[in-house]
């Protein structure tokens, strides 16, 4: 059968594990939640997740673990997106299973996920499926041991709204963060303090994450060279971009392209 999540209520599936793969995935851009945890793997394209007030980017060949009960939604600006999604009943106290994790997918995990496609949208119990997916479930924390924290929190303090909106639209520019004070009617010291309390990031780090996230979109599109992308997102040299990218992602832009 060919289902979408709006037709099939995952909470009604009685199996402990459920597999759902679909080409050109179209997901309702509305907040919702599941009793089961969710593993989202982006095989091609790129996907945004909003989970509990934070926005995460899933580039190609990355996955996100969404804990049970977490309020979330997905959306993508990518023309073509192929998602592989699995749902799991969580029966462990391991903290990993109860927090969001975004991580690059190793070749072994990728092959396991793709193998599980044979059970996509199967609502009937299957012993082989249960054994295989239980093993995958047990190993996910090990596969995600080097998780990247590539997310942006949405600040709730209304005094930050104008400054954040300006930064989101002008991240590629060579900004002096002190200039944002006037937009928030706060001293720069107060602005920086409140912003870090709300997002966990300094303003400069927030700008860096915005640049890297945008560059990952552009890299996934495969339409520009790395040098062209570096300048598009605001870096004055390829080396500066590479260093910044590596400090956030723990690997280089060229490595990202090789692993696609």
**Residue 55 to residue 146: CA distance in whole angstroms:** 19
Whether residue 122 sits in one domain with residue 23: yes
Whether residue 159 sits in one domain with residue 138: no
Whether residue 174 sits in one domain with residue 127: no
pLDDT attached to residue 24: 62
CA-only gyration radius of the chain, Å: 20
- How many domains, in total, are found in the chain? 2
Whether residue 124 sits in one domain with residue 228: no
Kindly give the parts of the chain with pLDDT less than 50: 1-7
- The strands making up 82-88's β-sheet, listed across from edge to edge, are 17-23, 82-88, 37-44, 62-66, 101-104
**Residue 4 to residue 26: CA distance in whole angstroms:** 8
Q: How far from 203 is each of 24, 33, 57, CA to CA, in Å? A: 36, 31, 19
Whether residue 119 sits in one domain with residue 174: no
Question: For 96-121, what is each residue's pLDDT tens digit?
Answer: 999 998 888 888 999 999 999 999 99
Whether residue 122 sits in one domain with residue 52: yes
Whether residue 172 sits in one domain with residue 60: no
Whether residue 48 sits in one domain with residue 15: yes
Which token pair is 85?
């999604």
Whether residue 138 sits in one domain with residue 209: no
Whether residue 223 sits in one domain with residue 191: yes
Does residue 20 form part of some domain? yes
pLDDT attached to residue 79: 55
> At a CB cut-off of 8 Å and minimum separation 6, what does 231 contact?
none
Three-state SS annotation for 168-197 = HHCCCCCCCHHHHHHHHCCCHHHHHHHHHH
| Domain span holding position 45 | 10-143
Whether residue 35 sits in one domain with residue 100: yes
């Amino acid at each position: 059968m060919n289902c979408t999540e709006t037709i099939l209520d995952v909470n009604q599936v009685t199996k402990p594990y459920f597999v759902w793969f679909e080409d050109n995935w179209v997901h309702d851009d509305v907040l919702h939640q599941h009793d089961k945890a969710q593993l989202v793997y982006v095989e091609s394209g790129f996907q945004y997740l909003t989970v509990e007030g934070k926005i995460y980017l899933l580039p190609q060949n990355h996955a996100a673990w969404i804990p049970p009960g977490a309020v979330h939604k997905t959306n993508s600006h990518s023309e073509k997106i192929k998602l592989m999604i699995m749902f799991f009943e969580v029966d462990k106290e391991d903290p990993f299973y109860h927090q969001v994790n975004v991580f690059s997918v190793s070749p072994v995990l990728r092959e396991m996920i793709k193998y599980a496609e044979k059970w996509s949208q199967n609502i009937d119990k299957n012993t082989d499926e249960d054994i295989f997916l239980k093993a995958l479930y047990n190993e996910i924390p090990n596969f995600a041991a080097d998780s990247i924290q590539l997310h942006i929190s949405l600040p709730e303090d209304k005094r930050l709204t104008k400054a954040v909106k300006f930064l989101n639209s002008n991240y590629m520019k060579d900004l002096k963060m002190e200039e944002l004070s006037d937009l928030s009617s706060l001293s720069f010291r107060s602005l920086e303090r409140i912003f870090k309390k709300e997002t966990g990031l300094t303003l400069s780090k927030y700008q860096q994450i915005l640049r890297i996230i945008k560059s990952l979109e552009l890299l996934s599109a495969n339409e520009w060279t790395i040098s062209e992308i570096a300048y598009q997102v605001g870096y004055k040299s390829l080396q500066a971009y590479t260093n910044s990218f590596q400090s956030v992602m723990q690997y280089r832009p060229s490595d990202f392209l090789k692993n696609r």
